[in-house]
Structures are given as C-alpha cells and as structure tokens.
C-alpha cells in the first residue's frame, strides 16, 4: 500500500431543494457571477431559472455564457475567459454536466493568465490562481463536481488532454438528482459507463489497496444494478440519487487512497475516438474498455476473477462477457461499427494513438498493443 495524502476541499450539498442554499453560498465569494451553460437544456428544464432566481434574491449580478459542447473545446473556454475578465467576475457558476464543469475549471484558471487555456492542458503553463467555482450538476457521470481535474479538446490537432490543480476544485457543488430526470436514456447510460470506467482505471493501478478494490467492486455492482433499473423507470428518485452519488464517489479521490493514481490508458485511447468522431465519452469507453480487458487478459486474469466474485457473485463467471452484455442492455455501443465508425477510419484511429502516445501508467502500450486492442473493437 502506497503512502498518501487525502484532501478534498469541495463542499457537497446533495438532495432535493439544494439550490435554496445557492445564493447564500455564492455570497461567500462575491457579488458578480459568470454562469456557464451548455446548449440550452437547463433553460428548458427550469434549472437555470432556479439558479438565477437565487442569485437575484441575494443581490448577486450575473451574466450567462452559453454553448459549451458535449466534447468541450478550448476555444470556448478562451472566449469565456475574455467574458469573465470583461465583466470582472468574482466567481464562475457551472450549470450542466461534466463538459460545462470541465470548461468552467479552465475559465477559473484562465482569468489569471495572459495565454490560452490550452497551454494548461499541454502542460506548458501552470495555473497561478483561480476564480472560485460553484457547480450545479445535471448529469451523473464524470465526477468533476468533486475533483480538480478537467479534460478539454483541440479540434485542430485532434487532441483531448487533461490537467489538474487544487486551484480549480469546486468550492461548493449542488447535486439534486431530480435535475437528471430530463437526461435521455442514452446519455444516462453513457454516464453509468463513465463511472464504471473510472472505477476500473483505479482498480488496474498495480499498487495494493484492498479497501479501494473492495469499494471499486461495490460501486460497479451497484452501478450495474441501478443502471438497469433507470432504463425502465427514468424518474425514480432513489435510483437517480444512487447513480449520482456513485459517479461522484468514483472520482472524488476515494479510490486513489493507497494507490498511485490509476492506470488511465483506456481513457487515453477513448480520447482519440472523441477527438476524431465527437462521440459521447461514455460510448467510447464502452467500446474501448472491453477490448482492453480482453487484450490484457493474460496479465489481469486474477484481477478479473476478483471482479467476477465481488461484482457478479461468481468467481467462475466471465466478467468481460457480463460487462459487454450489460452495456448492450442499457443501449450503448460496444463495437466501433455500432457507433457508425467503419473500417476506413481504423488507420486514423491508429495514427491518433501513435501521435498522442496513448498509454497507461502501468500497462504501457506499444503499436502492437494498439493493433491488438483495435482488432477487438471492430
């Protein structure tokens, strides 16, 4: 077991009517807020109105920056930085899913820089300070509401990169499971895949941390249970609430205790798919992860046996087969062709992985590994 420091500075307010506390919490950080949203769903479902009403009641002025994509691009973050500087924002409030939250983190750091936020992601520059960030989550998936990591992409170079800094950790995050009712079945399922994948990335860290591994197994087991239930009853509060909390716990640092941070090779491979084809991150992970598990089966068969025993209740079961069946059951693709990516694109995928040197921290990947994994994704 590795030495570790556990610290999470985010205050989480979870449950019904949580936004009644937003105005008073925001007052701790100033009187002028920039609100970031996606392409308008929070307008339709009334969440944005609730946010702005709270700010108005507490005499907090605000402006809205709209249009963040589901696979966010750095140019939008740069534009939002310009907006925040012009209005002299005291804080940023992100209202949406992981893409909005990730962009907001870049904006918070970008306000204190004189360069593009993309330089944070290429690690040519580091944040020196950041505006306070508050988040209102509307999609259970990425865990961005309670960590200090952010992922964004460059459509020109076909790169999707990450950076992390405690400076951009949310100060307060508001999680009302009712806000996820309006998320359609497909994106709900993609969120379930995302949270399971975060667990697996931690699990395939080769450091020994039995408690972490036990929590991983429980989160995956519960995610598969609730993931099936939510398809049939999308407005069940208890199911939505449990999925939301599972997604937060999967990437709030809890699973890293005693480990060295996780492998993350599958995420690097998936980022190539997102950058090239603009598919949902969870959908890409559903295609890549089973293929990665099959490719590395000889090295990880004991770890797969553990998952079969503690997730499925049968150490003789085929965990990969059951995982693929589950993904198919909840309506996400498990092969490239199911995502309308045909064989003419395979060379582009290989070139992207090679260009970006996609690899895990523990399972180092070569061109031969790329070929093996790609052949299992077809």
Helix (H, G, I), strand (E, B) or coil at 96: strand
| H or E element at residue 87 | helix 74-87
pLDDT (tens digit, 9 = 90+) per residue, 325-348?
999 999 999 999 999 999 999 999
- At residue 63, what are phi and psi to the nearest 5 degrees? -130, 155
Residues 281, 373, single domain; the answer is yes
- Whether residue 19 is contained in a domain is answered as yes
Rounded Cα distance, 124 and 307, in Å: 39
Main-chain phi, psi angles of 300, to 5 degrees: -120, 15
| Residues paired with 162 in a beta bridge | 151
- List the structure tokens of 92: 């940023």
Domain end call among 179, 200, 231: 179
Asked if residues 251 and 142 have their Cβ atoms less than 8 Å apart, the reply is yes
**Binning pLDDT at 50, 70 and 90, where does residue 278 land?**
very high
Which phi and psi (to 5°) does residue 370 adopt? Answer: -55, -45
Does residue 5 fall inside a structural domain?
Answer: no
Phi, psi of 167 (to 5 degrees): -60, -30
Say yes or no to pLDDT of 25 above 90. yes
Instruction: For residues 45-73, give the mean pLDDT.
Output: 96
CATH code for the domain of 191? 1.20.1090.10
| Claim to verify: residue 24 and residue 169 sit in the same structural domain | yes
- In a domain? residue 317: yes
Domain ranges, residue 350: 185-377
- Same domain (yes/no): 202, 99: no
Q: Which of 161, 179, 197 is at the close of a domain?
A: 179
The predicted-structure confidence for 87-119, as pLDDT tens digits, reads as follows 999 999 999 999 999 999 999 999 999 999 999
The verdict on 348 and 310 lying in the same domain is yes
Q: Which of 179, 204, 219 is the last residue of a domain?
A: 179
Same domain, 149 and 212: no
User: Are residue 35 and residue 146 in the same domain, yes or no?
Assistant: yes
Nearest to 217 by CA among 318, 322, 307: 307
**Domains contained in the chain, number:** 2
Same domain, 270 and 369: yes
Same domain, 219 and 123: no
Where do runs of H (alpha helix) occur along 95-253?
Answer: 98-110, 118-121, 185-203, 210-232, 237-250
Q: Quick check: 285 pLDDT over 90?
A: yes
Same domain membership, residue 160 and residue 229: no
Rounded average pLDDT over 48-74 = 97
How many whole angstroms separate alpha carbon 275 and alpha carbon 279? 8
Residues 64 and 167 grouped into a single domain:
yes
State the pLDDT at residue 347: 97
Q: Do 363 and 224 have their domain in common?
A: yes
Summarize pLDDT for 350-364 with one digit per residue, the tens: 999 999 999 999 999
Average model confidence (pLDDT) for the chain?
Answer: 97
Q: Is residue 3 part of a domain?
A: no
Say how far apart CA 92 and CA 105 lie, in whole Å.
9
- In 3D space, the residue among 46, 47, 34, 128 whose CA is nearest the CA of residue 76 turns out to be 34
Asked whether residue 249 carries a pLDDT value surpassing 90, the answer given is yes
Task: Give kind and range of the element (H or E) at residue 303.
Answer: helix 297-312
At residue 51, the pLDDT reads 97
pLDDT above 90 for 16 = yes
Using alpha carbons, select from 282, 249, 251 the residue that is nearest to residue 267.
282
Average pLDDT over residues 83-88: 98
Distance CA 84, CA 90 (A): 9
Q: Rounding to the nearest 10 degrees, give the CA dihedral for residues 69, 70, 74, 76.
A: 20
**Number of Cα atoms under 13 Å in the Cβ half of residue 140:** 32
CATH number of the domain at 19, please.
3.40.50.1970
Closest CA to 162 of 75, 100, 91, 103: 103
Residue 272's DSSP bridge partners are: none
- With 90 as the cut, is the pLDDT of residue 62 above it? yes
CB 15 within 8 A of CB 45: no
Give the contacts of 298 (CB within 8 A, at least 6 positions apart).
Answer: none
**Structure tokens, 240:** 């939505």
- pLDDT at residue 31 is higher than 90: yes
Distance between CA atoms of 132 and 93, rounded to whole angstroms? 9
CA 185 vs CA 16, 95, 165, 193, 243: distances in Å: 22, 20, 33, 12, 13
Convert the pLDDT of each residue in 127-142 to its tens digit.
999 999 999 999 999 9
pLDDT of residue 40: 84
The answer to whether residue 173 is domain-embedded is yes
Answer whether residue 6 is part of any domain.
no
Residue 214 in any domain: the answer is yes
Based on the domain organization, do 245 and 366 belong to the same domain?
Answer: yes
Residue 41 in any domain: the answer is: yes
> Distance between CA atoms of 139 and 57, rounded to whole angstroms?
26
């Amino acid at each position: 077991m590795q030495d570790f420091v556990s610290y999470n500075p985010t205050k989480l307010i979870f449950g019904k009517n949580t936004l009644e506390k937003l105005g008073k919490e925001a007052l701790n950080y100033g009187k002028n807020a920039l609100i970031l949203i996606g392409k308008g769903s929070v307008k339709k479902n009334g969440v944005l109105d609730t946010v702005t009403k709270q700010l108005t009641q507490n005499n907090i002025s605000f402006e809205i920056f709209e249009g963040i994509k589901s696979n966010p691009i750095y140019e939008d973050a740069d534009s939002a930085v310009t907006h925040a500087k012009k209005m002299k924002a005291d804080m940023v409030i992100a209202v949406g899913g992981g893409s909005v939250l990730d962009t907001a983190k870049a904006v918070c750091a970008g306000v204190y820089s004189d360069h593009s936020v993309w330089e944070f992601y290429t690690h040519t520059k580091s944040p020196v300070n950041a505006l306070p960030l508050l988040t209102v989550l509307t999609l259970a998936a990425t865990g961005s509401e309670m960590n200090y990591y952010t992922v964004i992409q460059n459509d020109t170079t076909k790169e999707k990169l990450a950076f992390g800094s405690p400076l951009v950790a949310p100060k307060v995050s508001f999680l009302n499971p009712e806000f996820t009712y309006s998320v359609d079945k497909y994106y709900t399922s993609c969120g379930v895949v995302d949270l399971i994948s975060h667990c697996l990335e931690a699990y395939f860290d080769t450091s020994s941390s039995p408690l972490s591994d036990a929590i991983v197994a429980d989160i995956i087991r519960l995610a598969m249970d609730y993931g099936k239930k939510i398809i049939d009853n999308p407005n069940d509060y208890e199911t939505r609430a449990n999925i939301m909390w599972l997604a937060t716990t999967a990437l709030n640092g809890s699973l890293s205790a005693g480990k060295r941070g996780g492998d993350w090779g599958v995420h690097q491979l998936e980022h190539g798919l997102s950058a090239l084809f603009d598919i949902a991150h969870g959908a890409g992970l559903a295609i890549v992860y089973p293929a990665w598990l099959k490719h590395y089966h000889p090295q990880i068969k004991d770890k797969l046996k553990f998952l079969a025993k503690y997730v499925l209740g049968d150490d003789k079961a085929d965990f990969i087969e059951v995982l693929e069946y589950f993904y198919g059951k909840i309506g996400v693709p498990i092969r490239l062709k199911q995502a309308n990516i045909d064989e003419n694109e395979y060379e582009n995928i290989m070139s992207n992985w090679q260009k970006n040197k996609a690899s895990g921290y523990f399972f180092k990947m070569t061109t031969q590994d790329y070929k093996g994994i790609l052949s299992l994704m077809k």
